[in-house]
Structure formats: C-alpha cells, structure tokens
Amino acid sequence: MIEGLLGLAAMLALAFLRLPIAFAMGVVGIVGYAYMRDWNFTIAFAVAQTKIYETGRNYTLSVVPLFILMGNFVTRAGMSQELFRAANAFIGHLKGGLAMATILACAGFGAICGSSIATAATFAKVAYPSMRRFGYKDTLATGASCALTITPGATPTATPGDPAPAAAVLEIAGDNTPILRVHMAVVAYGSVHQGGYVFAIDDGTPYTGSIGGKVAALHDLPDQVSWSLSQLGVASGLHENATAPCHAATDGACNTALIVAADGALAPAASLCDLSTDGGFSDWYLPAACEQGYDTNPGFAAQVCGVQGSPLMDNMQSRLVDGGDLAGLSGKSYWGSTSWSISPMRSILDHRFAANPFKDAQAHYIESHVRCVRAFKP
C-alpha cells in the first residue's frame, strides 16, 4: 500500500515537472518493479518490454484508429448520405419505410466503421431532418437512428466446470418499437467453453458481439512424455528472454509451430498438442511459460512472468488453480514450450501448479505431464 502511494506521488511529481505522462508512468513502473525485485533492473526492463509488446499488439488498439479514420473518410466522401438514399429507394415506399431505411443504412454504415457511437452520431445528423419533414415523431426519428452496444458485467451465466453456458435473456424496450429479446451466454474463468477450461479472456475484440481468449484442455495427455528425445537447436531461440522469432515467454502457439516445424518427431510434448483434435478442435499447442503461470521462486530467471499479485498475463495458475483447483492441475508439473536461457538446448522450463507454484529447469529427456491449450474465437 505504501509503495503504491509513493509510486503515485512520484508519477504526479514527474507529470507536474512537465514530463509526458507516458514517460512518467514508465519510469515509475520500471523503478517500482525493480524495487519489488530487490533492485533487479534486468527483470524490470524485461517485464516492461513484454508489457509494451503485449499492449502494442492488442487487436483493439491496432484497429480502432483505423475504424475511426475509415468512418471519417466515409462521412467526408458523402457515403453516409448515399447509403441513406439507397436504402430509402429500396424500401422507402413501404409504410414506415423511411424509418426502416434509416435502420438499414445504420447497419451498413456500422459494418463499415465498426463504431456504434459514430453510427448514431452520423445518422442522427443525416436522417433526422428528413424524418421530421415527413411527420415522424421525435421519439421514432431519434430511436430509428440509435445504435446500442452492450458490455456484459462480471456476473457469469455459467459456473466453472459447466459444459454448456446457460443463456441469459436481455430485453430492450422503447417507445414506438417492439421489445427486443437477446440471448447471451457469459462465461467465467474456469467455465468450459470451446473444448476447454477458460483461463484467459480478451475483451478487446471490437464490435463482434463476443470475446476471445484461451482455454486449457479438459484433460492431460494420456501419458507423461519427454519434451524432446534429443537436443533441438530450435530450443536455443525459445528461452524466457527471447523476443524473436517468437516472444517465447508468452506465445506458446508460435513456439509450438517452430518446434514442430524443426523436427516434431523428436519433440513429443509439442507435437502431440499440435496433432490433438480434442473437443473437435485442431489448433491446440504447448503453452509458453507465462501462459502457464507466475513463479514464486525469487531467484529464478523465469520470474519475467510476474508474481501472484501482478502476473504478466492471464494464466492457468491464476485462473484455474489459485481460486480452487478447477481443472485438476494442482500438485503436478507440466512441460511448457519455453526453454531456460542458461542452457536452452538442454533445459526446458516446466511449471509446478500448487498453492506456491514454481518453475524448474528440467533436462529435455525427462518425462512430465502435458496440458495443451488453444485460443478460442468469438
């Protein structure tokens, strides 16, 4: 608590000294994390590098500015008016056709720009005067050009372990319009969805009506297996500090693809995940170290994954073990797809799921458990 208040005070002081807020937050964050790790700036900079990369590759941050730019192009080019005129030409002759044309044009514009707010603002300006001129009431004239975005709350409609999320019914009512009933299924961490237990949720998928994330398979592979049967050269580039060709600490899908491409037959752990069709899905992979979880060993290099109170990313340990053993992982060690930087061709990081989890560097030929993961789609 004291450290957090001091960090806030330091950030405000730097901001008042006219240092850009982004740099003020970065400096305080790096120094603060180094302080928490016994002034280990190597780990602090590694975490900062990972956070910057993960934030920069976030889907929402990359496409929202482009959607806004596209919306501006569409408006400046007069396409919104053209959409309205085209829709009105098709169905304007029907009773209430102008209102229906407005809704149809809103759908077309929304598909182009991806923003319900921009859609409502644009067509309130384009369609409202015409609807008023033809005698439509204000409540209908404004309501027909309304777009609604619904963000689910924190209460799930499926408890952890439920094989099928129960649908919740949302009713939307308004003047001069029939009641709209929408069925939604909201899952929680630990819920069974698309073949596995949900342990990561990405709510940055814009305007798709759903979310993405990651799930861990419902069961371990039938037998414990070796990570590899011989030393694989590809492992030298997949240690916890590597950022190319894969961000090896966080991107298990990329790691698995490289391992299998190099020589899948010699790497049972990764190749068996790659070949899995569990739950009818064929995109399983061997998770990276940070997808498995954080580490409680303060001296181990793999603490780039963060600590219990501040993990680097959503992970299996935090979401499926810390709140109760939801997936049957606790008490066992599992191979990951990340090697150890001290001896990357010989030593691979495995993760021990427990109340005090830890990562260990195991010889590649040792047999251990495997739990595959996959990214689920909206």
Instruction: Quote the CA–CA distance of 14 and 28 in Å, as a whole number.
Output: 9
261: helix, strand or coil: helix
Between CA 346 and CA 228 the distance in angstroms is 9
Domain-embedded: residue 64 = no
Same domain, 363 and 256: yes
* pLDDT value of position 94: 78
Instruction: Classify residue 22 as exposed, middle or buried by CB count within 10 Å of its CB (0-12, 13-18, 19+).
Output: exposed
Nearest to 233 by CA among 255, 256, 263, 254: 263
Question: pLDDT at position 225, please?
Answer: 93
Residue 165 lies in a domain: no
Determine the structural domain holding residue 19 and report its residue range.
2-59
Cβ neighbours of residue 54 closer than 8 Å, sequence gap 6 or more: 250, 312, 313
Which pLDDT value is given to residue 336? 94
Within a domain: 351: yes
Convert the pLDDT of each residue in 10-24 to its tens digit.
Answer: 989 998 888 888 888
Report if residue 175 sits inside a domain.
no
The answer to whether the beta carbons of residues 101 and 141 sit under 8 Å apart is: no
Same domain, 255 and 312: yes
State the Rg of the chain over Cα. 26
Same-domain check for residues 308 and 358: yes
Pairing verdict, β 192-193 and 196-202? antiparallel
Residue 378's pLDDT is what?
66
Sign of the CA dihedral 360, 366, 371, 375? Answer: positive
- Considering the domain architecture, whether residues 350 and 313 belong to the same structural domain is answered as yes
Among the candidates 143, 169, 196, a domain finishes at: 143
Q: What is the pLDDT of residues 223-251, one digit of tens each?
A: 899 999 888 788 888 998 898 889 999 99
184 domain residue, yes or no:
no
Q: Which two tokens stand for residue 375?
A: 């990214």
Q: Are residue 13 and residue 91 in the same domain, yes or no?
A: no
Residue 242 lies in a domain: yes
CB-based contact 197:215 (threshold 8 Å): yes
Are 255 and 372 within one domain?
yes
Q: Which helix (H) or strand (E) holds 50?
A: helix 41-56
What pTM was estimated for this model as a whole? 0.58
Query: Pick from 88, 116, 82: which is nearest to 100 by CA?
Result: 88
> Do 283 and 325 fall into the same domain?
yes
Claim to verify: residue 265 and residue 304 sit in the same structural domain: yes
CB contact at 8 A, 250 and 243: no
Say what angle helices 79-91 and 59-76 make with each other, to 10 degrees: 70
Q: Output the pLDDT for position 38.
A: 77
- For residues 55 and 88, state if they share a domain: no
In a domain, 169, yes or no: no
Q: Is residue 207 part of a domain?
A: no
Identify whether residues 368 and 220 lie together within a single domain: yes
- Report residues of the chain scoring pLDDT below 70: 1, 57-68, 70-72, 74-75, 80-81, 83-84, 112-186, 203-211, 298-303, 378
Q: How many residues does the chain have?
A: 378
Q: Dig out the tokens for 328 from the structure.
A: 């049957």
Both 123 and 249 in a single domain? Answer: no
Q: What is the pLDDT of residue 333?
A: 94
According to the model, what pLDDT value does residue 191 have? 83
Predicted local confidence at residue 103, as pLDDT: 77
Q: How many domains does the chain have?
A: 3
Mark whether 248 and 324 lie in a shared domain: yes
pLDDT at residue 373, rounded to an integer: 97
